[in-house]
């Protein structure tokens, strides 16, 4: 009969065969005594449990080697071994869980872990008390080792080592000092991080990733505030003590990485159309489009009432969390080992991070340190590492973006956009893109000497398409401000570079350029410039490649370019083709464009539409399967066609009647 029950025990079932049971116990004791990844805290407790497991190993090896297990063990011994099997599995699970924890979280929770290990040790001591070891037929030396293991388990303590208590107190004290804006001394930081076992840039980076994951998963809610502060502290110490990490672009064969720092193969639907970053908190607006909450909130707060992607006027400004997409993004991140930075969906944790004084001050210190180092960087390689670190810091959180810009990064980054080193240029333009997401930084970039010129240069002259794409994304971000959208639209270089990307770039470049053009097309006075530079021709040429192309055509037609669209050879036929085979968004944009063209150009456009084979079926199908807006537009297009057909029929009838009258008059 079991001495105790635990919820975890139900997951493990001891083997019924005695030999199998002993072999399983031997395997478990070996795994525990020889861990692949020694746990840092509480170090003394982990070392003790490992040594005791080695003593168990001797017992199980002896029983299997001498063939004792082939005979009949006493029933009390079998029962004890079954219970030991369950306890060792509990211990193995605890060790596995601790292996996945960050070092700093383990230190913060050292008392709790030590308590769990102490409870397991006492359970083992109780089982060894009742194990009839002298009836197992093993040697006296083995009996003595089992007794030693029992006494050691019984002497177990739940109190952690005083040195670990002191280290934890020192770290918490350091956090409180940072809250008071006291910059830590380098020697003190170095001492703490040596004791933590964080001794290089890579280990610090791994620690940051684990902490951010644990914060998002609410793994230790009691310590959430301290863990948020520790992310900032570890990031600061990483830069101060170990220098900047090597840019991943420098390690890959093609030198490409995206603005979010995530896997470059991330599905396009997982990236926010505004920031092009992997969406952390996707939300749906009234038009049905999905954006990252932070990006669309800034767009709406800027006074916009339109959908950035489709150009559609929003019937309301409420947003709804897209939980299904969020779950898909999290699943993709887990499967591809991609860390999704940022807090859990919703405002609660974001506010917690923003209100964490220590985290904010640590981020400010990190930004200031990096910008000062950038100003004094002696070589291209050193500069590239600093810029890469700034890019990473600016990719998440409005406060980080503000701190980096306030420290003076923008005027230092702009000249680097002319660098002949592809990796440095890419890091610099991506850092500017990430900074531009913050409203205040848009002004800093647009008003900086040569800021716009540098972005235009990258769009047209960069050696990598990824840099060009991120420059186009920066134009998209800057265009969120009404006055800047006009300024960018009036600049022929901006439009020419974007059109060139649409015409000759890869699919991802086409999408980024079209997204920027779409925002520029939201301004009526920009339409003539867009038409003049060939936007309509370029967009029509990739209708089947990017849904954004149909949105651009619809936006241009709506704001005064309907005649230019209608004049494009085969425009009506191509748009009908998108209505047939395009994505949901593209079909909606295509039918909206056709409605505007037919209304503003008139009979010639409607005649061309009516001449397309099967147009009635296409309209009818979209009325039944499209989005709400697509259904309304399809119904409107159907009415236009019917009215035109009725007018043509009436005109034909009138002509026939007139001819008949004329003929009758001639005969008479």
Q: Where are the alpha helices (DSSP H) in 479-602?
A: 482-490, 492-504, 507-520, 527-532, 535-540, 547-556, 562-567, 571-581, 584-601
DSSP conformation class of 42: T
User: If pLDDT is split at 50, 70 and 90, which confidence band does 7 have?
Assistant: very low
- Long-range contacts, 449-457 (Cβ 8 Å, 24+): 449/411, 449/414, 450/414, 450/415, 451/410, 451/414, 452/487, 452/488, 452/491, 452/494, 454/414, 454/415, 454/417, 454/418, 455/417, 455/429, 456/491, 456/493, 456/494, 456/497, 457/417, 457/418
User: If pLDDT is split at 50, 70 and 90, which confidence band does 185 have?
Assistant: very high
Instruction: Rank 293-302, 333-342, 632-641 by mean pLDDT and report only the highest.
Output: 632-641
User: If pLDDT is split at 50, 70 and 90, which confidence band does 71 have?
Assistant: low
Nearest Cα to Cα of residue 516 among 562, 435, 455, 567 = 455
Please tell me the distance from the alpha carbon of residue 69 to that of residue 527, in angstroms, as a whole number: 87
Phi, psi for residue 283 in degrees, rounded to 5: -135, 155
User: If pLDDT is split at 50, 70 and 90, which confidence band does 266 have?
Assistant: low
Mean pLDDT score, 49-66: 88
What six digits make up the tokens of 577? 């083709």
Pair 482, 302: CB distance under 8 Å? yes
Does the structure show a pLDDT above 70 at 552?
yes
The pTM (predicted TM-score) of the whole model is: 0.75
Virtual CA dihedral for 550, 553, 556, 558, nearest 10 degrees? Answer: -70
Q: Which residues of 598-631 are buried (b: 16+ CB within 10 A; e: fewer)?
A: bebbeeebbebbbebeebeebbeebbeebbebbb
DSSP conformation class of 420: S
Whole-number CA gyration radius for the chain: 34
CA angle 24, 27, 28 (to 5 degrees): 85
Task: Give 292's strand partners.
Answer: 282
Does the structure show a pLDDT above 60 at 6?
no
Q: Which residues of 144-166 are buried (b: 16+ CB within 10 A; e: fewer)?
A: ebbeebbebbeebebebeeebee
pLDDT of residue 596: 94
- Residue corresponding to tokens 């951010």: 212
Mean pLDDT score, 571-600: 92
What six digits make up the tokens of 590? 């295509």
Mean pLDDT score, 479-488: 89
Mean pLDDT of the chain: 85
Does the structure show a pLDDT above 90 at 474?
yes
Q: Kindly tell me the sign of the dihedral angle through the C-alpha atoms of 526, 531, 537, 543.
A: positive
Please tell me the distance from the alpha carbon of residue 31 to that of residue 27, in angstroms, as a whole number: 6
The neighbour count for residue 228, using CB atoms within 10 Å, is 25
Bond prior to 42 in cis (omega within 30° of 0): yes
pLDDT of residue 427: 95
User: If pLDDT is split at 50, 70 and 90, which confidence band does 263 have?
Assistant: very low
Mean pLDDT score, 144-159: 92
Task: Give 291's strand partners.
Answer: 283
What six digits make up the tokens of 443? 């002004």
Pair 435, 477: CB distance under 8 Å? no
Q: pLDDT tens, 339-348? A: 565 444 344 4
Q: pLDDT tens, 323-339? A: 878 877 877 776 666 65
pLDDT of residue 661: 72
- Long-range contacts, 122-128 (Cβ 8 Å, 24+): 122/153, 122/154, 122/156, 123/3, 123/4, 123/87, 124/52, 124/84, 124/87, 124/149, 124/150, 124/153, 125/150, 125/153, 125/154, 125/156, 126/3, 127/3, 127/80, 127/83, 127/84, 127/87, 128/80, 128/153
Please tell me the distance from the alpha carbon of residue 118 to that of residue 327, in angstroms, as a whole number: 38
pLDDT of residue 546: 80
- Residue corresponding to tokens 């037609």: 557
DSSP conformation class of 261: S
Mean pLDDT score, 540-549: 87
User: If pLDDT is split at 50, 70 and 90, which confidence band does 260 have?
Assistant: very low
Q: pLDDT tens, 310-323? A: 777 888 888 888 88
DSSP conformation class of 626: S
């Amino acid at each position: 009969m079991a001495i105790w029950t635990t919820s975890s025990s139900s997951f493990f079932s001891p083997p019924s065969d005695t030999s199998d049971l002993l072999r399983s116990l031997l395997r478990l004791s070996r795994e525990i005594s020889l861990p692949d990844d020694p746990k840092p805290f509480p170090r003394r407790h982990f070392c003790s449990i490992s040594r005791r497991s080695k003593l168990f190993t001797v017992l199980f090896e002896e029983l299997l080697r001498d063939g004792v297990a082939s005979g009949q063990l006493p029933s009390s011994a079998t029962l004890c071994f079954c219970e030991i099997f369950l306890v060792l599995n509990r211990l193995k699970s605890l060790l596995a869980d601790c292996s996945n924890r960050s070092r700093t979280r383990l230190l913060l929770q050292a008392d709790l872990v030590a308590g769990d290990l102490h409870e397991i040790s006492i359970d083992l001591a109780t089982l060894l008390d009742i194990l009839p070891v002298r009836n197992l037929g093993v040697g006296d030396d083995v009996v003595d080792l089992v007794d030693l293991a029992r006494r050691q388990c019984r002497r177990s303590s739940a109190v952690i080592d005083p040195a670990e208590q002191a280290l934890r107190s020192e770290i918490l004290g350091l956090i409180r000092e940072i809250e008071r804006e006291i910059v830590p001394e380098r020697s003190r930081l170095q001492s703490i991080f040596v004791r933590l076992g964080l001794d290089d840039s890579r280990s610090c980076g791994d620690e940051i990733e684990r902490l951010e994951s644990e914060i998002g998963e609410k793994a230790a809610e009691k310590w959430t505030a301290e863990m948020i502060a520790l992310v900032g502290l570890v990031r600061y110490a990483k830069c101060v003590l170990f220098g900047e990490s090597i840019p991943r672009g420098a390690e890959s064969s093609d030198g490409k990485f995206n603005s979010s720092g995530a896997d470059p193969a991330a599905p396009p639907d997982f990236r926010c159309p505004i920031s092009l970053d992997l969406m952390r908190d996707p939300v749906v607006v009234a038009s049905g489009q999905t954006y990252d909450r932070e990006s669309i909130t800034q767009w709406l707060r800027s006074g916009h009432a339109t959908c950035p992607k489709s150009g559609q006027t929003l019937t309301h400004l409420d947003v709804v969390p897209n939980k299904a997409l969020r779950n898909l993004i999290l699943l993709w991140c887990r499967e591809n080992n991609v860390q999704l930075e940022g807090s859990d969906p919703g405002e609660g944790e974001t506010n917690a991070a923003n209100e964490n004084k220590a985290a904010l001050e640590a981020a400010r210190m990190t930004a200031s340190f990096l910008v000062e180092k950038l100003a004094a960087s002696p070589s291209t390689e050193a500069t590239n590492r600093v810029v890469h670190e700034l890019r990473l810091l600016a990719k998440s959180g409005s406060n980080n973006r503000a701190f980096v810009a306030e420290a003076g990064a923008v005027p230092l980054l702009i000249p680097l956009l002319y660098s002949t080193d592809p990796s440095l240029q890419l890091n610099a333009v991506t850092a500017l893109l990430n900074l531009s997401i913050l409203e205040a930084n848009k002004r800093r970039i647009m008003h900086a000497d040569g800021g716009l010129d540098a972005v235009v240069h990258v769009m047209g002259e960069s050696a990598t398409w990824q840099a060009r794409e991120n420059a186009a994304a920066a134009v998209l971000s800057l265009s969120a401000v009404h006055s800047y959208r006009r300024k960018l639209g009036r600049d022929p270089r901006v439009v020419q570079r974007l059109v060139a990307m649409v015409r000759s770039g890869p699919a991802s470049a086409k999408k980024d350029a079209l997204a920027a053009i779409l925002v520029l097309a939201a301004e009526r006075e920009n339409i003539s410039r867009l038409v003049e530079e060939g936007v309509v021709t370029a967009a029509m040429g990739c209708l089947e490649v990017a849904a954004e192309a149909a949105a651009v055509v619809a936006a241009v037609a709506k704001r005064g370019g309907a005649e230019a669209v209608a004049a494009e050879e085969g425009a009506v036929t191509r748009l009908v083709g998108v209505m047939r085979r395009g994505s949901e968004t593209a079909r909606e944009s295509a039918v909206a464009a056709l409605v505007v063209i037919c209304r503003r150009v008139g009979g010639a456009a409607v005649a061309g539409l009516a001449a397309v084979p099967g147009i009635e079926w296409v309209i009818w199908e979209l009325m039944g399967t499209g989005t709400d807006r697509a259904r309304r537009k399809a119904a409107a297009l159907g009415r236009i066609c019917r009215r035109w057909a009725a007018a043509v029929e009436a005109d034909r009838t009138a002509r026939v009647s007139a001819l008949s009258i004329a003929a009758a008059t001639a005969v008479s």
